[in-house]
Chains A and B, each alone.
Chain A
């Protein structure tokens, strides 16, 4: 069965979407991602949509779901590489993509995630625990 590959990049996960997501595939992605976050104790997820030329309300919902699910698992989701035509269409469609943070590309997305991680760690420096990997 087709699956979207999830790559581990340090303490983050990278998901590159290059095919059209249909129901089955999307659900599988959500499940796989949740398990990966758990498995690697990831603090951040980068979703690269630079190859996605159409985002409809279905896809928008998937991205929103992933953002919320990751949050619950204490990970931050950043969507990168949105194509201009897609952004304009989403706005026209009225899809707010709540809870989804965007960055221009993978590089900036990583910077963003690291910056957010630093802020968090600075706040919690007293209670800092070493990451535990299963």
Chain B
């Protein structure tokens, strides 16, 4: 996500167990509300957060989530970086295909999550963990 972004606020939250999910979602909501994001966009952002953080817990063995208030030339937004040091995803393109599923759950839910946010980037390698970065701009 190389671009000229101004970061005005930032915090990093460790996520190691289920009970960490809701407080994280509330923090993200605070960031969204602060820049005046509509309820619909906030809902999308927090839902995406929920999906990604559950992946972090379930497949990544826990990790860190960084929340940032960002600005580009046009508008403000919220950026989230989910980093774990789990086993990593073997084939990202497969994971990004709608309908892909590992285990008995709905899979990583990545394609769906991607639709909820403005920008989505994922880096992962076997044995090296996964980093997912998303940005939701104020106006979608």
Direct interface between A and B, CB < 8 A: yes
Chain A residues engaging chain B, CB cutoff 8 angstroms = 20, 22-24, 53-58, 61, 83-86, 88-89, 92-95
Which B8-25 residues sit within 8 Å CB-CB of chain A? 18-19, 21-22, 25
Q: Distance in Å from the Cβ of B19 to the closest Cβ of chain A?
A: 7
Tell me whether A57 and B21 are in contact in the complex, defined as CB-CB below 8 angstroms, given that A85-B43, A92-B44 are known contacts. Answer: no
Q: List 10 A-B contacts (CB under 8 A).
A: A22-B21, A23-B18, A54-B46, A88-B40, A92-B44, A92-B112, A93-B47, A93-B113, A94-B111, A95-B106
Binding site for A on B (CB under 8 A): 18-19, 21-22, 25, 39-40, 42-44, 46-47, 50-51, 54, 98, 105-106, 109, 111-113, 115-116
Q: How far is the CA of A54 from the CA of B28 in the complex (A)?
A: 13
B109: chain A residues at CB < 8 Å are: 57, 93
A95 near B50 with CB under 8 A, answer no
Once the chains bind, are A93 and B112 in contact (CB under 8 Å)? yes
